[in-house]
Chain A
């Protein structure tokens, strides 16, 4: 168990850093300030709590996207349309998304939030998935969207360790997208920048 480090600076500013991002327990700045009886610190801590709430919302958005990806790969794996080498790849990618989801859910909980839960039905276009290429195209679309979602999360996560972890996931999603494009016979990396 690791507790967040509060480092008062000479001008009274509070610097709060997570020691290890995902996977470790963190006590909120507000809680620490209130426990110490320092009202000024508690007021600053309220602002920190608000930023933690923002981080929870961002992480829960990402968690929702991961849960959707897990469901999509499940649909693909059970479709009977994926041939053996591609099926193994899809199962591997689904495993990555499960790991992302686990890490994100733990991070949300440790920030005091409630992790998003998977939907019962995502309304996937099952009737349009008739070939292996259809499934791969569908998965590639979601992976590309996931890259964009993380690109929209990294710069606004307050905690730098969480931002680093999100960037790490972004890299993984981008690799999935590239491999799926390669499997579809498309240029795997179409541009120098993602958006």
Chain B
């Protein structure tokens, strides 16, 4: 069983396919370096790529910078304003000891000349890139008022080869596609990756024994447990917000898919739905009190909601086209994203739960598997680029779309890591 190492360079590349019409101009000045302790990491370049990939910022070209201050006191705000920037980011990397790196940054508003704020992060050489994403998160929140999600990761499935002999990988990468790590490989399908709320575990479905089985795997160590391999279907795991239970789909040998709860400590199973229809794709509300799921009890698939304290109380939530499936609840609980059919095309839509308003956000023909970024601002999903499956994302307001191109084969089922509080 050989170890597999992916090349260290980026395997995913972010391309902004549509941005806002009026992005915020910002100058991200190269940081003062700690040579050689920083290993050559260009923090400002990572931050620039993050912010530009969001579609909300336009960064000044380095060659146009007339000076390269690294401290806020040295920023001549009027000059940067004259060059068309609303903000200037400066920063320093220092190495107080052989194993420790300090990253400090300051954001200056060029209109007022005032320092908007600053941050300091402590890192080592292997966590320096993550610290750069945290700088991006700081800038994003300081300017837009929304927490950034650059320092989070995504899990997804990559598939190589042609049917019927394909090769499946479960991969975890930074949100910008860097540092991809294969955490499971199989000649049989792998499906439905789902993060635990503490981001230590991934649940997924693997068919490695020619049966469907639900596993949970500790991302850092690879330690894993088979938590359900009952007769028939074992599918669609979703961790409860407190991490103690999994919602999952079981069919038994009779083939009737229903949603159940599995207590991870006691292994106790509790049935939630009992309907001859297909009930599947559970997604928890953030308060842990209800579950949204797909059911075709009324004919075509639609989204329903059940109350965990009283699971017989089921309420239909979607009333759209003849096909609405795979709900994911937004982190604040105010919206659901799902797959809907428009004409012959499967697309990603978002529904505001209070008003019922539905907005179709994607434009592909076979878009599926939506997953909210932890800040709720963006939805990542699987789409197609010609014949190949790719990961794409769209902002919840529909203004910014991105495509992540890859050399890893066909990409599916992205799952965005939750925030760690």
Q: Do A and B come from one complex?
A: no
